[in-house]
A and B are shown apart, each in its own frame.
Chain A
């Protein structure tokens, strides 16, 4: 048996409304989407996966080091080739020897990961972690892009727990051209043959649900939502009422979440306390899979799905990098990828050093002790990720180092601070330099409490470097 013991979900804080699209285009092509989540310039599927997974792990009360199997699902991983679970696992503190998989190539990748995680448990793994994160994109003037939102969900899987995953069925029928992305291209496309698309959608969903052993008897249905209307058109096919679909729907507020669509809806339904949830995901091709989650009690969940920043259409294009020029060319100080990699324990896990001679903390843990000057072998300490701002500035447009020129063009002014990070021991702290995120620069003042998260720092030579940034404490609780 497979059960969910912890749920995490996350959506970026930015929202854009259907009205903003109407003003820009004269029309909005994503039926039923009222607002949608927009990833900030320093976010992608990997950082959203981190946000959801840390919440899920915390909700489950699991030691990430005990996770034996991790699956990362996205229709748009930040890299088409490279196993991103190596970085995700390191960010989360998952063991180097855990089994890992990347699921991609379809908007049903998230539920595929859940299924595979269940199989791994059946085969003897004790703890699995499934993370689905996505931010679809299409041609700027098309319905796929108008609907495209952003979000992530994570599930900790164990043999027993409050929410059992039961029954499972799949269905496939060849329907080329419904939703696809050509190798090497960035935009997801559909031919837009209305009746053909609808038939592909409903036939595959009906086929999957029909394949279930028992009548799901669901009180909520998490159905793939390429827009805010299609899942309701599939109500009959899925054997549920439109009210059941609305009970789990996130598409109206967050937009099309791609491979995270059904996972985020499932997370929301479990957090809301629904006891029987039917989950049906679907991807272009056309393929669908269905399963049922039966909860016997409250499922521990930590979610951050609320938005707090409303974007204009121009700001939306900037945040997404549609209208910016990319990084400047040139040369100067440079941090090589091998150098960056040496700092990963600090960038991902806030690993500081404690001097065995005087007890002072140093960050990064190298060189002479900042407390007593001893050239010591530091005791490694993982900081809890909270702190207090000691000095801060807001870097105006154009004033960023070149590594951040593109980010600043997209996201605007940012705060950058020196923060006394709590050492977690007595009242000790250690000072670090960190960039602000997830709030306007004015939200960072001397004496303010902050917490760390992981974001894209910058991209050079095609390699995105991820690392910690700071945001106001509790900003995304």
Chain B
């Protein structure tokens, strides 16, 4: 398989934008991605596109992919919509890597978008749980906050994880998001604020939950044969891994971890021939604070049951040895479902290209992104490497 390279990535702001459409948000992200390519790119270079979106609100349930690629003037290229709930974006990136690796395309656009703020809160309720198991899980009265709260209850019971440790995830991610102009909730919060927020689904409170967001993100992925035309400081997509599992939590082997993420991480590390200790920073799927803690364990950043202690230690802070969610994560940067996985790639690109400004990690060589669909029905992990750094 040919190697795939990330030569550009960009995103819109995440937030609530009554003046924007899903197409205009996508255009913003597309232009930002194109502009970020060091040696420039022409639209005509793009051979194919994959677009992640769940379709919240149902405004364009069929053919949303061509609807946005046509809008930005990519008329005619093959375009496929990718749907894997909150992991739609990450899987769009994976599809792009596959298309490049197979030799069917040299330059592929991976994008994602979602508009979640333009429905009434009543109508939104119909969409917030659509990616859980519908017949049994949803009809036992849970949306995602409920399912992740059940996971938190099991983790706390088994490992002694505390609500304060959940709040520390929020404090850290808000601290990072405050340094990101694209962040929806780009403000800092104190541990006390995060501890005392209204309860959503016990033990999770409002600060343990990500917001609903509008936004779009795009990444340009090219083959080893053409990467030289776009940059002389290439970032290789060194590892890709993915997994799936039962959609309903009650059908899984464990409630204190996400087996699909473990499988995804194992594959990605193996393909990149690295281990968790070789990663300089990570963007993980923190839709709920407990999800970030589970990710620490599933990705091998710590032993099982040790995630609470890990966040408490400060090692995943921006200045720590393994900064996690430097962008602010889903919690602070926002979570426009289909865009999220691509947005993580945007952060990885900016970090590896040294363009992350105030939240820049010092001289990173290798970053990891981790994107989960539903409560763990699908998961995808990417390992990205700055080739110049690897050689150094």
Contacts and interface: CB of A to CB of B under 8 A. Distances in A.
B139 A395 contact: no
Contacts of B135: 335, 339, 343, 364
B130 A404 contact: no
Interface range for B: 35 or more
A405 interface: yes
Nearest to B198: A396
A40 B204 CA distance: 27
Contact of A391 (B120, B145, B150, B246): B150
Contact of A395 (B123, B142, B157): B142
A61 to B, nearest CB: 33
A393 B201 contact: yes
A396 B146 CA distance: 9
B313 interface: no
A390 B255 CA distance: 9
Given A333-B134, A393-B150, A433-B249, A404 B129 contact: no
Given A401-B142, A417-B150, A396 B250 contact: no
A391 B255 contact: yes
Given A392-B150, A433-B249, A404 B141 contact: yes
Contact of A446 (B124, B157, B248): B157
B126 A396 contact: no
B351 to A, nearest CB: 35
A393 B140 contact: no
A339 B135 CA distance: 9
Interface stretch (A2-10, A160-168, A242-250, A323-331): A323-331
B149 interface: yes
A339 B134 CA distance: 11
Given A335-B135, A343-B135, A393-B201, A416 B146 contact: yes
Contact of B142 (A332, A416, A431, A458): A416
B71 interface: no
Given A329-B122, A396-B200, A396-B201, A435 B153 contact: no
B250 A400 contact: no
A399 B146 contact: yes
B123 A433 contact: no
A393 B142 CA distance: 9
Contacts of A439: none
B315 interface: no
Interface in B112-167: 119-120, 122-130, 133-143, 145-146, 149-154, 157
A32 interface: no
B136 A432 contact: yes
Kindly name the residue among B136, B151, B200 whose own CB sees the greatest number of chain A CB atoms within 10 A. Answer: B136
B122 A418 contact: no
A418 B324 CA distance: 30
Contacts of A458: 139
B127 A332 contact: yes
Interface string B187-212: 00000000000111111100000000
A370 interface: yes
Nearest to A408: B141
B20 interface: no
A381 interface: no
B137 A396 contact: no
Contacts of B129: 332-333, 401
B278 interface: no
Contact of A394 (B122, B130, B198, B202): B202
Contacts of A331: 58, 123, 126
Contact of A396 (B127, B134, B202): B202
A405 B202 contact: no
Nearest to A334: B134
17 contacts: A328-B120, A330-B123, A331-B58, A332-B129, A332-B130, A333-B126, A333-B138, A393-B203, A396-B202, A399-B145, A399-B200, A416-B141, A416-B146, A418-B249, A432-B250, A433-B136, A435-B141
Interface of A: 328-335, 339, 343, 364, 370, 390-396, 399-405, 414, 416-418, 431-435, 441, 446-447, 457-458, 465, 467
Going nearest first, the 6 A-B pairs with the smallest beta carbon separation are A332-B126, A328-B122, A393-B149, A330-B123, A433-B140, A391-B150
Interface of B: 58, 119-120, 122-130, 133-143, 145-146, 149-154, 157, 198-204, 246, 248-251, 255
